[in-house]
Chain A
Amino acid sequence: MYTMSSKLKLFSLALIIVGAIGLIYGFIDAPSSVEDVKEMLHAEDAAHSGEVAMGSSGVDEAAHADEHAEHVFHQLQNKPWAAIYVPALFIFLISLGVFVFYALQNVSQAGWSPVLFRVMEGITSYLVPGGIIVYIILLLSTLHLNHLFIWMDPEVVANDVIIQNKTAYLNTPFFLIRAAIYMIGWILFSKLIIKNSRKLDEEFSLTLHKRNFKLSAMFLVFFIVTESMMSWDWIMSIDTHWFSTLFGWFVLASILVSAVTTIALVTIYLKGKGYLEHVNNSHIHDLAKFMMGFSIFWAYLWFSQFLLIWYANIPEEVTYYVSRLEDYPVLFFGTVIMNWLLPMLILINSDFKRVNWIVIFAGIIILVGNYMNFFVLIMPGTVGESWFIGIPEISSILLISGIFIFTVFSALAKAPLTVKHSAFLEESKHFQY
């Protein structure tokens, strides 16, 4: 049995506390009125004195400045909200992705992975707290506490014909119901399947094995549908005017690669602490292969979506990339380097995939890169050009990862780290590649 070390407990609690303080500071620091923003902008202008625009009419300029100030005000008010939303969603989806990977192992009758099942189950346990956090943020958005989703603002909708045409889908009650269905579905499946896996520890039963097989298959069908809709609801609808058919699968690629990476990192950590006696470097090798494969898959979808929109250059779609290229050039292309180029170059070597520190190194790049990916998906539509990776963003990451680490490792301590019975356990123990 694994017990969470007091060091790790302390570490995760420290992350939570520091993160929470930073996030609260972020909320306090956000400007509370347009006047504050005007002052701030004025100060900025003063800093760039001499660059004053040559306006033709003073009245127009003043009106424009007011409008601009209000615009920036909304963006800055959104900043702490978006800051917490990005990691909350990202890490929640990681734990969902881990469960998807677990279900895939079940239905594909994989012979290598049963010794890693408990690690995957442990990470899946974050679905409940993570889901609650994400749901609360969505709920608060519908209560107009922030402007993450512009279509939730009745004033915006009243003046926007395009959004009005979408209200049959994009309306707050339906949005919340859908979100609840996805979350309850995912959590319910995870609870059922993991419960069966614990039951299998007592005695091997073919019935339970088959039941988990069927449940996993059902979950995967449910998942592929809900995942697409989830990505439209929670991410794509932020840029309400924009649409892309590929979007759901692109988000899926990001989820999967981060999920496999997380499995690899937790496995290496536990193995390093002397647990997981049956895990050998072939298992790590397999995980690293999936990390590389999925990161290439991510890049394929990233590129396909970008190329098609860039190539056809249809105005209503291309604004999405124009704003990202103008305001987020480093992050935008940085994600490609972090999520594709570096992992591919590092992990192409077969021997490297068996070396723990290299896998950890590549894994950190992938996780940071995919955080950046979510950042570039969400920020341009919420804070626009006012983005910055500062105290609220970093604190949010610390807060959420603290909760994640605490939940996952306390869940790992609740059951033996290797399943006792699985139809393919023996294969997995003797797995070598």
Chain B
Amino acid sequence: MSHYESPIRKPLVTGDKSYHDVTLDVVRPVEGKANKSWWVVFSIALIAFLWGLGCIVYTVSEGIGTWGLNKTIGWAWDITNFVWWVGIGHAGTLISAVLLLFRQKWRMAINRSAEAMTIFSVIQAGLFPIIHMGRPWLAYWVLPIPNQFGSLWVNFNSPLLWDVFAISTYLSVSLVFWWTGLLPDFAMIRDRAVKPFQKHIYGILSFGWSGRAKDWQRFEEVSLVLAGLATPLVLSVHTIVSFDFATSVIPGWHTTIFPPYFVAGAVFSGFAMVNTLLIIMRKVSNLENYITIQHIELMNIVIMITGSIVGVAYITELFMAWYSGVEYEQYAFLNRATGPYWWAYLLMMTCNVVSPQFMWFPKLRRSIMFSFFISIVVNIGMWFERFVIIVTSLHRDYMPSAWTMFSPTFVDIGIFVGTIGFFFVLFLLYARTFPVIAQAEVKSILKTSGEKYKKIRAEKGEHAKLYDEPVQEPLPNFTEQFNSKSNS
């Protein structure tokens, strides 16, 4: 009875699915051909990406002055977008690592896409630290490499340098974690491939995975260790991103709650993005039996919880601004609420604090349309959160003579649009070439959490056989055969 599961738990795989059905459902998009709408969406994303690329080339060749930054506001859309993309990336690791540590079986249908989303959004985030540099061609100076300047090194006291280490480590660990999980699934596609080219490609991607017991044992152990490492990593990465602001002395930036609150916000926005993507993906890739309403509901609950944590943090900040008695701090928050960017603050508050509270109602959080809507709202809200933190704190701080405003140029906007385009280019390519559901993992929970098997257990009790007994053909009578042969 080691695999007992409470009957109260809802099935995670619906429909009458067997192991083979899982395989077929997962490989269908990979083995099939892209339809017209895929090409349409892909072209749009590609155009956006190319437009963004043009803006980046323009920025680098002309100078940062093409952006809307000024002498007071040295960071605006660039770092807002950076933090936003990094934040989105966090849900992937959270789903695959933290939910693994908490033995959440529902993660299995969504972890692959969530991790893909992590990697693609960290790539977008990684662009900004480079392109917002005045001299990006000297970017390699941030690395502590022995050199001909008398071994001139970097100063390890800057959170911007910590960012370099955090983001690059995060990307590499996420990539390894993702790829390890992909090995059995690539092997499955390799084994099914009929065209030599595909067989060759997936043969390379799957690293010769053959699925022996020892391999699986080590595979599980590696996953657990990586999950154990990725969890502190995911916390520390966004913590370090938050240090960019919190270590400063700017009113509105210097606050100790930033590390955990940025992480909560990252999980919040990341889950919203996963929800947005998966609600579409389950429809277009026919994966409704794997990414069920139950999954969407659970993601909504995570959004609700992290949204509430973010809400508590907002209120804490407001209270402390008053309680501190520091007039700069008090003004920073007064300015957010009633200054020229009041609309951004209001938008952020409504989207981040109010909208997740709708998820308390089961009807709403089980509605796909509503979840989709809220997930977009949350992503808008979280973009504005970073914008509000960065811009409203900078545009009015200690010296009133340095007060100013910020408005983005088309280049600022173009680069942001470009990263969205690039993200979708990568994600759309992924959805057509990669197994978007970790089929090996889903198969491991099929008999405990599949609807078909739950039904069998409900009818025949806990000890019901969940497999067909192999039928033994009667053996031919060898003695008779032998006798008849020797006789003839």
Contacts and interface: CB of A to CB of B under 8 A. Distances in A.
A296 interface: yes
B325 interface: yes
Contacts of A312: 247-249, 254
Most-contacted residue by chain B among A246, A314, A424, A430 (CB, 10 A):
A246
A224 B306 CA distance: 12
B256 A245 contact: yes
Contacts of A305: 256
Contact of A308 (B5, B256, B309, B313): B256
B317 A245 contact: yes
Given A224-B309, A312-B254, A427-B4, A304 B325 contact: no
Interface in A109-161: 109, 111
A301 B247 contact: no
Nearest to B323: A243
Given A165-B325, A432-B2, A246 B257 contact: yes
Contact of A225 (B235, B312, B325): B312
A309 B236 CA distance: 18
Contact of A111 (B6, B257, B313, B325): B6
Interface in B283-336: 308-309, 312-313, 316-317, 319-320, 323-326
Most-contacted residue by chain A among B1, B260, B309, B317 (CB, 10 A):
B260
Contacts of A333: none
Contact of B2 (A248, A308, A311, A430): A430
A333 to B, nearest CB: 19
A245 B255 contact: yes
Contacts of B309: 224
Contacts of B247: 307-308, 311-312
B232 interface: yes
B326 A424 contact: no
B243 interface: yes
Contacts of A245: 255-257, 313, 316-317, 320
A109 B8 CA distance: 10
A223 to B, nearest CB: 11
Contacts of A248: 316
Interface in A384-433: 423-424, 426-427, 430, 432
Chain B interface size, as a band, is: 35 or more
Contacts of A224: 308-309, 312
B246 interface: yes
A304 B260 contact: yes
Contacts of A426: 4, 6
Contacts of A111: 5-6
Nearest to A348: B228
Interface of B: 1-2, 4-6, 8-9, 102, 232, 235-236, 239, 243, 246-249, 254-260, 308-309, 312-313, 316-317, 319-320, 323-326
A244 B256 contact: yes
Interface residues of A, number: 37
Nearest to B249: A312
Per DSSP, are chain A's interface residues mostly helix, strand or loop, or mixed? helix
Contacts of A184: none
B5 A427 contact: yes
B436 to A, nearest CB: 27
Given A311-B247, A312-B248, A423 B8 contact: yes
Contacts, number: 87
A342 B317 CA distance: 33
Contacts of A281: none
A259 to B, nearest CB: 18
A162 B308 CA distance: 31
Interface in A248-281: 248-249
A412 B228 CA distance: 35
Given A224-B312, A430-B4, A304 B324 contact: no
A208 B246 CA distance: 46
A326 interface: no
Interface string A308-334: 110110101000000000000000000
B77 to A, nearest CB: 25
A246 to B, nearest CB: 4
A111 B104 CA distance: 11
B308 A316 contact: no
Contacts of B4: 426-427, 430
Contacts of B239: 300, 304
A181 interface: no
Contacts of B319: 232
The 6 A-B residue pairs with the shortest CB-CB distance in the complex, in nearest-first order: A245-B257, A246-B256, A304-B259, A311-B247, A423-B8, A165-B325
B324 A246 contact: no
Contacts of B316: 228, 245, 248
A117 B431 CA distance: 44
A311 B247 CA distance: 6
A247 B6 CA distance: 39
B2 A243 contact: no
Given A246-B260, A304-B256, A314 B323 contact: no
Contacts of A244: 256, 320
